[in-house]
Amino acid sequence: MTDPNVERKLVEIMRIISESDKPLGARLIADELHNRGYAIGERAVRYHLRILDERGFTKKHGYIGRTITERGKKELNDALISDRFGFVITRIEELIYRTDYDLETGKGNVIVNITNIDKDDYDNATDIIRYAMDNGATISPNVGIVEEDTDLDIYVPDGKVAIATVCSITFDGLLLKSGVPVVPIYGGVMQMEEHEPAGFVDLISYSGTSIDPIKIFLRRGSTSILEAIDTGYGNMLANVRQIPTSATHRAASIMEKAKKHDIDGHFTISEPYQDIFYAPIERGKVGISVMVGINAVAAVEEAGIKVETHPVSTVMEYSKMKKL
């Protein structure tokens, strides 16, 4: 049976081709996949296209590109209904499962966000990212730098440099690896007062959405990271997950261990039967709020530098990530 992650990419490629009124080549498909949050390069797209050709779902028109066949249209109509609803949470769950970072050895994969920055803006952008990280706006000061054509799984457009920042969903992977059942439930805008989280002013559920809630808030320009750092008052991005009440002490212990490896941030565990910063939690569960790793790159956009950010993008070996 084909890997579900591969099947999901095949379906998305068919969607992209079906939405075009002309044949599409691998580069254009890779660009659009990138826009939709898939960290996949042109060479990997060609591999997936060969699978679709072999199944009769797409047709190759020489060097011009591919079109979708009638058989492909039927497959697309029937395929992965669950992928159309709750797409984001499904992808997040897959990445949580792939997180294998070991808090004892300091090695293993963490979940990362990928931000593409123009090479001309790189120095200024990294200065701002470093400033935000130094002032606690994110969960780890370590980043991965990816140049063009250096990694098959991380697509970097021409003229760009990709910066991988540790995603807060990594905490969910650490909890799951330690035997704590965990479910991400909200992404939101957190109001800061005197440099501390005061309460969510907006929330979007991860379940049932086709766009990551954090990405939605980024597009809206909902943050004021630099203001929050400089004055103590402003809006940052955070998310919420819930765990069984009985796992509270174990979760707190895991998160304390993570601090020793520079995986930290404003995280708060709610009391049983109580909301967390006005975010509702199910009975029998407690909520955990964590500031997201993307806050540092949101600060770059606030400074007027255009970047492209893809939250919860892929996994990366944490030991290869370094401080700016």
Show the 3-state SS of the chain: CCCHHHHHHHHHHHHHHHCCCCCECHHHHHHHHHHCCCCCCHHHHHHHHHHHHHHCCEEEECCCEEEECHHHHHHHHHCCHHHHCCHHHHHHHHHHHHCCCECCCCECEEEEEEEEEEHHHHHHHHHHHHHHHHCCCCCCCEEEEECCCCCCCCCCCCCEEEEEEECCCHHHHHHHHCCCCCEEEEEEEEEEECCEEEEEEEEEECCCCCCCHHHHHHHHCCCCHHHHHHHCCEEEEEEEEEEEHHHHHHHHHHHHHHHCCCCCCCEEECCCCCCECCECCCCCEEEEEEECCCHHHHHHHHCCCCEEEEEEEEEEEHHHCEEC
Query: CA-to-CA distance for 235 and 239, rounded, in angstroms?
Result: 13
Predicted confidence (pLDDT) per residue in 104-145, tens digit: 998 999 999 999 999 999 999 999 999 999 999 999 999 999
Q: Flag whether 103 is in a domain.
A: no
So what's the pLDDT on residue 210? 65
User: In the chain, how many domains are there?
Assistant: 2
Q: Are residues 51 and 145 in the same domain?
A: no
In a domain, 92, yes or no: no
* 237 and 142 co-located in one domain: yes
pLDDT of residue 103: 92
99 found inside a domain? no
Taking residues 168-189, report their average pLDDT. 95
Does residue 101 sit within a domain?
Answer: no
Q: Find the domain containing 32 and state its range.
A: 4-82
**64 falls within a domain:** yes
In this structure, the answer to whether residues 32 and 180 fall within a common structural domain is no
pLDDT (mean) for 16-29: 90
Are 62 and 127 members of one domain? no
pLDDT value for 1 = 38
pLDDT of residue 80: 52
Mean pLDDT, the chain, rounded, equals: 89
Residue 90 lies in a domain: no
pLDDT > 70 fraction of the chain, expressed in percent and rounded = 93
Same domain, 140 and 72: no
- Choose one of 67, 82, 97: the last residue of a domain: 82
- For 282-294, the pLDDT digits (tens) are 999 999 999 999 9
For residue 74, the domain's CATH number is 1.10.10.10
Same domain flag for 267 and 147: yes
- Specify whether 35 is located in the same domain as 163: no
On whether both 199 and 70 belong to a single domain, the answer is no
Residue 104 lies in a domain: no
Residues 72 and 168 in one domain: no
283-324 per-position pLDDT tens digit: 999 999 999 999 999 999 999 999 999 899 889 999 999 998
More confident call, 78 vs 245 = 245
Based on the fold, state whether residues 45 and 134 are members of the same structural domain: no
Is 153 in the same domain as 18? no
In a domain, 251, yes or no: yes
- pLDDT above 60 (res 102): yes
Q: Are residue 135 and residue 221 in the same domain, yes or no?
A: yes
- The CATH number assigned to the domain holding 151 equals 3.30.70.1360
pLDDT at res. 158: 83
